[in-house]
Structure 1
Amino acid sequence: MAALTHSDLMTLEAYSKYLKENKPKLIAHRRARTVHLGEHITLQFEDRETIQYQIQEMLRVEKIFEEEGIQSELDAYNPLIPDGSNWKATMLIEYADINERRRELARLIDVEDRMFVEVEGQPRVYAIADEDLDRETDEKTSAVHFLRFEFTAPMRAALLAGAGVKLGCDHTNYPQHIEIAPEQVASLVKDIRA
């Protein structure tokens, strides 16, 4: 998928009008690419459309209209667009209670490195996490991480042929795995090229 440029973005006024007409469609697209792993980890698999929406929202909320500010947002978010050999996701660790969140983030150090995708008949692919900067300290992990799952040619071929897919985590303090729903896999497979 091609990176977004200034010409792909709408003015704040045009985006406001577009959002009124298209918000349900944008939410449905994002929902089709969201996978919950247990009660406390959510992966939002990104694509060009989700990233464009994110950038437009940042520009709208922050009222950014100057070229340098727009370019800064493009530079920050373009690396999250898959490039045909991978899936990229924003991982959210969510605990409603602040004290529980603080305690669990301390227990989940390195959880981002223990996330995996397993394509049916293929070995697990572990996430490459936070390539832009380290998001944890010696005391705790961050509640937000950016993940890349890089697939080999045989894995991509299996995905394109309709293989089932599991998402999981083998961190000692958060062992979870699920089968990704077929309709979600169908959305994610659009990010893959043979």
Structure 2
Amino acid sequence: MVTEENVDKLSRDDLYSLEQYSEVRPKFRRDVMEHKRHRVLQIGPAVTLHFEDRMTMQYQVQEMLRVEKIFDREGIEDELGAYNPLIPDGSNWKATMMVEFPDADERKVQLSKLIGIERATWVQVEGHDKVYPIANEDLDRETEDKTSSVHFLRFELTPAMVSAVKSGAAIAAGVEHENYNHRVDAVPEGMRESLAADLDAVN
């Protein structure tokens, strides 16, 4: 039975078999990379938000099944259970946050200075308050000594924010951590349209 809770989630019926995927992978990968061009937002020199959706998650699942050579029902359901929560629900945006420093020594120093950076990240719909995320719902990704280089964020929007985005409102984003303060005043129009498509129109 299809419910509002699972209507946009992936099921085994949505996936290619390993044999099918080997045939369609080159084109599917090109399509996903093109799609992702409008889903990745750089905020300052070290932080990137990868806004996830059904297509990006199908790609992640298919790649995991391919690499791990998973074809049994239980294994496939495990992968779906891991990745389906990152598909937006119609009233939110979900993003993988990457905090990247190429040099290993610098990375260690910086991650020790950026504890809490995921909670200091925000998005803002034009004319509305900033929205700070619910972060890392699967597990805690920081210690007393450092934060992780990867975080999972869920930005919950009010019905008024959803309506504004669907009507063309600009979207800003940023990080306001004491050791990392950067913002994007307005995401590119292609990204704005892609993010608007994640949201369900409010009646």
- Normalising to structure 1: TM-score of the pair? 0.97
Map of 1:6 onto structure 2:
12
Alpha-carbon shift at residue 14 of structure 1 (Å):
0.6
Q: How do 1:90-101 and structure 2 match up within 5 A?
A: 90-101=96-107
- The one-letter code sitting in structure 1 at the alignment partner of 2:43 is L
**Which of 133, 137, 151 does residue 143 from structure 2 map onto?**
137
**Runs (5+) with no aligned partner, structure 2:** 1-6
2: CA distance, partners of 1:22 / 1:147: 26
DSSP 3-state at the match of 1:96: coil
Q: How do 1:173-188 and structure 2 match up within 5 A?
A: 173-178=179-184, 179-188=186-195
Alpha-carbon shift at residue 21 of structure 1 (Å):
2.5
Map of 2:4 onto structure 1:
none
2: CA distance, partners of 1:7 / 1:118: 36
Map of 2:176 onto structure 1:
170
Alpha-carbon shift at residue 66 of structure 1 (Å):
1.8
1: CA distance, partners of 2:105 / 2:139: 26
Alpha-carbon shift at residue 22 of structure 1 (Å):
2.9
Alpha-carbon shift at residue 114 of structure 1 (Å):
0.6
Map of 2:82 onto structure 1:
76
**Which of 121, 124, 128 does residue 115 from structure 1 map onto?**
121
Q: How do 1:34-113 and structure 2 match up within 5 A?
A: 34-113=40-119
Which stretch shifts more, 77-86 or 6-15?
6-15
1: CA distance, partners of 2:155 / 2:27: 33
Alpha-carbon shift at residue 13 of structure 1 (Å):
1.3
Alpha-carbon shift at residue 132 of structure 1 (Å):
1.1
1: CA distance, partners of 2:65 / 2:196: 29
Q: Percent identity?
A: 50
2: CA distance, partners of 1:162 / 1:71: 37
2: CA distance, partners of 1:159 / 1:117: 12
2: CA distance, partners of 1:147 / 1:90: 6
DSSP 3-state at the match of 2:148: coil
2: CA distance, partners of 1:119 / 1:21: 34
**Which of 21, 29, 37 does residue 15 from structure 1 map onto?**
21
**Which of 188, 192, 196 does residue 189 from structure 1 map onto?**
196
- Deviating above 6 A after TM superposition, structure 1's stretches of 4 or more consecutive aligned residues are none
How many residues are treated as equivalent by the alignment?
Answer: 194
2: CA distance, partners of 1:22 / 1:77: 18
Map of 1:24 onto structure 2:
30
Which stretch shifts more, 163-172 or 62-71?
62-71
1: CA distance, partners of 2:8 / 2:28: 22
